[in-house]
Structure formats: C-alpha cells, structure tokens
C-alpha cells in the first residue's frame, strides 16, 4: 500500500526490526528456541513463558494473514508523539488474530479503510503504509488490510 508515497521519497521503517518492507511484507516477531512460544513486538531476551527459563529469543517471520479480532476508528487526531497529518483524516485500527502464532496484533488499517469496511472474523493481510513524512523521507508502518481474495485461496505466505 505504498501508493501514497511518491517515488522521490525514500522509505524507512518508523520502528526498527518489527516488519519487512518488501513486496510481501510480514511482521518479524520473536520465538523462544526452547519452548517455542512467540513474542511481539520482537525482543532478544527473556522468554515470557513462566515455565521456561530461556533468556534467548530469536527473530522469526510471522504469518502474513489473520482474522479481525476487533477494530476501532479514530475520529480525532491523537496527541503527540503521534504525527497526525493536517487536516486530520479519520483512520481505523485493527486487532488481528494470527492463528499459528496464537497472538493478536494491533495495527492501523491502510488510509481509506474505515470501520464500516471491517467486521470481526474478516480475513486480513499485512501491508505497509506511510506513517508520516519528514525531510523527504517516508516513515513506514505495518498496516492490516482486507485480504485479497486469491491470496486467501492460495494460503498464507
């Protein structure tokens, strides 16, 4: 979902190491090599499973597809440190359940996808979008977009 980015702006992630910026973006989580539980946002140490004493977590790609757990739509500009565009346009936030990882991850929806376009249980896929632009650099963020039909049939990447 990079149509809002212009070609002369370079793209960097707004947060390091949470997602990829390629054609088929996916979240990068962590997995415990010992008990195999998953963690998001990613980190390098301290397995959260109380029955596991591993202090090492390894980066792992998360499923690109999931289902809507719930969603909301911001009608007012959030306060700083959110860099709201002016004039402010409402946008949706979506919490998506990833089956294999057993995790729900909150993200924005792409610009233009609002609450009326969403429903609990809907299939979603990970994309990226511009969070804000500064000095000709687009700071990118992962977003949850309604899944494209043929990719649903084809299964998660």
Partner 1 sequence: MSDRDLVVLGVGMHPWGKWGRDFTEYGMVAARAALKDAGIEWKDVQYVAGADTIRNGYPGFIAGATFAQKMGWTGARVSSSYAACASGAMSLQTARASILAGFCDVAMVIGADTTPKGFFAPVGGGDRKNDPDWLRFHLLGATNPVYFALFARRRMDLYGATSEDFAQVKVKNSLHGLNNPNARFRKESAIEDVLNSPVVSDPLRLLDICATSDGAAAMIVTSRAFAEKHLGSLKGVPRIKAVSTSTPTYPQTILELPDFATDSSAVVMPPARGFKDSICWDAYEEAGVGPEDLSMAEVYDLSTALELDWYEHLGLCAPGEAESLLRSGATTIGGRIPVNPSGGLSCFGEAIPAQAIAQVCELVWQLRGQAGDRQIENAKLGITANQGLFGHGSSVIVGI
Quickly count: other Cβ atoms within 10 Å of residue 40's Cβ. Answer: 18
Among 28, 37, 64, 147, binds partner 1 (CB under 8 A): 37
Residue 98 and residue 63 in contact, taking contact as beta carbons nearer than 8 Å: yes
Report d(CA 96, CA 103) in Å as an integer: 8
Smallest distance, Å, CB 85 to partner 1? 11
Does the protein bind partner 1 through residue 151 (CB under 8 A)? no
Quickly count: other Cβ atoms within 10 Å of residue 113's Cβ. Answer: 22
Smallest distance, Å, CB 109 to partner 1? 11
Smallest distance, Å, CB 103 to partner 1? 5
Among 21, 49, 53, 154, binds partner 1 (CB under 8 A): 49
Spell out the residues 6+ positions from residue 66 whose beta carbon is closer than 8 angstroms to its own: 96, 97, 98, 99, 105, 123, 124, 144
Among 1, 9, 14, 156, binds partner 1 (CB under 8 A): 14
**What length does the chain have?**
157
Q: Which residues bind partner 1 (CB under 8 A)?
A: 14-15, 35-41, 48-51, 69-84, 90-93, 95, 100-108, 114-115, 119-121, 131, 141
């Amino acid at each position: 979902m990079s149509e809002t980015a212009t070609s002369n702006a370079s793209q960097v992630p707004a947060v390091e190491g949470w997602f990829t910026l390629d054609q088929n973006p996916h979240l990068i989580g962590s997995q415990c090599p010992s008990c195999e539980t998953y963690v998001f946002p990613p980190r390098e140490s301290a397995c959260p499973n109380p029955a596991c004493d591993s202090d090492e977590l390894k980066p792992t790609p998360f499923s690109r597809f999931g289902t809507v757990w719930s969603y909301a739509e911001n009608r007012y500009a959030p306060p700083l440190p959110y860099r709201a565009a002016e004039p402010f346009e409402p946008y949706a936030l979506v919490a998506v359940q990833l089956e294999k990882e057993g995790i729900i991850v909150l993200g924005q929806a792409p610009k233009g996808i609002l609450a009326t376009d969403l429903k609990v249980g809907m299939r979603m896929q990970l994309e990226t979008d511009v969070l804000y632009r500064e000095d000709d650099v687009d700071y990118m963020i992962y977003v949850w977009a309604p899944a494209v039909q043929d990719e649903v049939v084809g299964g998660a990447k």
